[in-house]
Structure 1
Amino acid sequence: MGKYDFLIVGAGLYGSVFAHEAKKRGKKCLVIDKRKHIGGNAYTENIENINVHKYGAHIFHTSNKKIWDYVNSFVEFNRYTNSPLANYNGELYNLPFNMNTFHQLWGVKTPDEAQAIIKSQIEKLNIKEPANLEEQALSLVGTDIYHKLIKGYTEKQWGRKATDLPAFIIKRLPVRFTFDNNYFNDNYQGIPIGGYTALVEKILDGIEIKLGVNYLSDKDYFDSLADKVVYTGMIDEFYNYKFGILEYRSLHFENEIIDSSNYQGNAVVNYTDSETPFTRIIEHKHFEFGTQPKTVVTREYPKEWKKEDEPYYPVNDDKNNKLFKLYSELSKKESKVIFGGRLGDYKYYDMHHIIGLSLKKIATLFNEPDSI
């Protein structure tokens, strides 16, 4: 018997929620993380009295009232609504694609006018069976929206030409024929007041934490500390890349403190042309309606993932999914280790998904009914 009931590897949302719920059930937990902070990729750092999203914009949104009530039981969330803008060579367009976008593109004022233009463009292309992402997108939204608002951004994001990307990446494109700039359709949306670090601090209240320690560098020792291990890192790294390396897209961030109270007037502006090297600029103060005298902006540059980089977006193509399946089958044979989270499942999740999965895992382990 170890000193702890659970060793949780990773202080992100999955591990933190798991630790909180296990503690509520009388279990002793130790949470470790190789980073020197809690919160995983949702971590926010206070710079110039602004909560800066250090690993890219995180907007909490869900239609699950139980999960919304759950996170609000720790901290209060504000009413932030994600309404990004697109900058195409200096032209500004509202996102997601809606009547404001269509008015900016074509000067139309009614849904019928917008639908007629999109339908006409799609019909002229005569694409029956899309062979790649470009053809898939064109067959959904036509030429103008594709070339100004999708092509450049997507090719930068994936580091490949749209004609070389599989069609399944874009299964659908949300097109709204209403004047609605709200990016998400969920019932609940907001940012924790005081930032995500404040949220995770509350979740981990009373739980022992060790930061700046690497589980895999001394696995036998850490395994000896607990009866069970909850592992939220990369599943292929856990198995020392036995079957090969799972691919990810990564990001590089450039932060700038600007001596101005308002740089771009919006939290998120996407740069959809191919010439601009970054995909978007985030102005963090707008997530919390800040009035600070200075502002902090972050330019986001996608890049190919290498072992020393942070993995962000799994490349869920056929090759990688087959590889993950091998690791997944191996993980099912583990009696001591529980795999979870984005890296453990090799799947991109939103934050509400991660919290829900962690709560479901707790319910399963403790033989409780699933309440989510």
Structure 2
Amino acid sequence: MYDYLIVGAGLYGAVFAQQAIKKGKKVLVIEKRDHIAGNAYCEKRAGINVHKFGAHIFHTSNEEVWEYVNQFASFNNYVNSPLANYKGKIYNLPFNMNTFYQMWGTITPDEAKAEIDKQREKYKDTEPSNLEEQALFLGGEDIYEKLIKGYTEKQWGRPATEIPSFIIKRLPFRFTYNNNYFNDPYQGIPKGGYNVLVENLLKGAEVKLGVDFLENKEHYKSIADKIIYTGEIDQYFDYQYGQLEYRSLKFEHELKEDCDNYQGNAVVNYTEREVPFTRIIEHKHFEFGTQPQTVITREYPMDWEKGMEPYYPINDDRNNALYEKYKSLGEADEKVIFGGRLGEYKYYDMDKVIASALKKAEEIL
């Protein structure tokens, strides 16, 4: 018998495992995939740690979480400063004074604010009913057309006029020449990739890869006092109320054997609708690599279907109401605790999922 069976070797499961082991508990971690670290998994290629499931950049304002992860990995000082490519022209992100200069030639904050106000003027009395109207209301036409419209439509797989306005509650205009995407004081990439972090978190646990909990659910429930389940909550309950919806992603990884630096930046967003991918990631720049070759990844948003990898929960009214039904079923099962992005049907930044796992561990250990 195990004290805890943890289903899923991603960050939530690994953090909970570490906390349980620290308390002297006997822990088994099973993972359906053939690797640990969930979507943060890094695959070594040409000496480069490739973020196989999209860019994962650790950032947090939570000092407790930052001190916690630094016990298990050393972090470099990578600062996320993505670029946007719109029809061959480059703009800095997030929207800051560099962006406004590239867009309009404005130099001072007052000049930039005046241009934004002028662009917003004809939309100021509208009551936005969709994302397009909301973005025009907040920032005017240039910012919307060049940096928001195409990218967002690709992400959501539908016209901006059919996307709810609440998706863009505000636009983060920054009136300084500062390309640091996050406001968090702590950010970086684990040296050697996220596998190092998760391997160290899982020390002391028994780990089995390539094991599907749901194929033998009753057996696995019988061998542990408690189950920590980080998979899809609706799938656990055999979709008895229907399926929760997600957006998915497709990744095209490419080794550039005759190139040591493809785009000069880790992340470049492609914001025009006609380019089918949303961004290109060049992985070596996350760790300031000097390898003679480089690996790039094109990222394509996709509609999700059962059996595909679920990435982004679609937290609209219908899906949230459906999740509440599954949540009630989960709360009625005293043996199983549902956690993480799929177990709680919530988009989590990495620091938030770690904080959630630490909190849950504190509650029940």
Give me the TM-score of the superposition, normalised by structure 2.
Answer: 0.99
Deviations 1:31-88 (A, max 9, x none): 0010000000000111111000010000000011111011111110000000000000
Q: What code does the residue aligned with 1:252 have?
A: K
Partner of 2:299: 300
Q: What code does the residue aligned with 2:339 have?
A: G
State whether structure 2 residue 53 is matched by structure 1 residue 55: yes
Matched positions, count:
364
Describe how 1:115-134 pairs up with structure 2 within 5 A.
115-134=113-132
State whether structure 2 residue 173 is matched by structure 1 residue 181: no
2:39 to 30, 37, 41: 41
Partner of 1:289: 288
Q: Which runs of 5+ in 1 are unaligned?
A: 367-372
The whole-number CA distance in structure 2 between the counterparts of 1:129 and 1:345 is 33
Per the TM alignment, residue 125 of structure 1 is displaced from its structure 2 partner at its CA by 2.2
Query: Which SS does the other structure have where 1:321 is aligned?
Result: helix
Partner of 1:250: 248
The whole-number CA distance in structure 2 between the counterparts of 1:49 and 1:133 is 42
The whole-number CA distance in structure 2 between the counterparts of 1:361 and 1:125 is 46
Residues 127 and 135 of structure 1 are in contact (CA less than 8 Å); yes or no, is this contact kept in structure 2? Answer: no
Question: Which stretch shows the higher mean deviation, 49-58 or 168-177?
Answer: 168-177
Deviations 1:306-364 (A, max 9, x none): 11211000001111111111111111101100000000110100000000000000111
1:11 to 1, 9, 20: 9
State whether structure 2 residue 336 is matched by structure 1 residue 337: yes
Query: Which SS does the other structure have where 1:27 is aligned?
Result: coil
- State, as a whole percentage, how many aligned pairs show the same letter: 66
Q: What code does the residue aligned with 1:298 have?
A: T
Residues 10 and 31 of structure 1 are in contact (CA less than 8 Å); yes or no, is this contact kept in structure 2? Answer: yes
Per the TM alignment, residue 171 of structure 1 is displaced from its structure 2 partner at its CA by 1.1
Describe how 1:133-212 pairs up with structure 2 within 5 A.
133-212=131-210
Per the TM alignment, residue 126 of structure 1 is displaced from its structure 2 partner at its CA by 3.4
Query: Which SS does the other structure have where 1:101 is aligned?
Result: helix
Residues 20 and 204 of structure 1 are in contact (CA less than 8 Å); yes or no, is this contact kept in structure 2? Answer: yes
Partner of 2:263: 264
Partner of 1:65: 63
Closer/same/farther in 2, CA of residues 224 and 281 from structure 1, 3 Å limit: same
Per the TM alignment, residue 225 of structure 1 is displaced from its structure 2 partner at its CA by 1.2
Q: Which runs of 5+ in 2 are unaligned?
A: none
Partner of 2:216: 218
Per the TM alignment, residue 264 of structure 1 is displaced from its structure 2 partner at its CA by 0.2
Give me the TM-score of the superposition, normalised by structure 1.
Answer: 0.97
The whole-number CA distance in structure 1 between the counterparts of 2:125 and 2:19 is 51
Q: What code does the residue aligned with 2:166 have?
A: F
Query: Which SS does the other structure have where 1:335 is aligned?
Result: coil
Deviations 1:111-167 (A, max 9, x none): 001100111111122343110011111111111000000000000000010000100
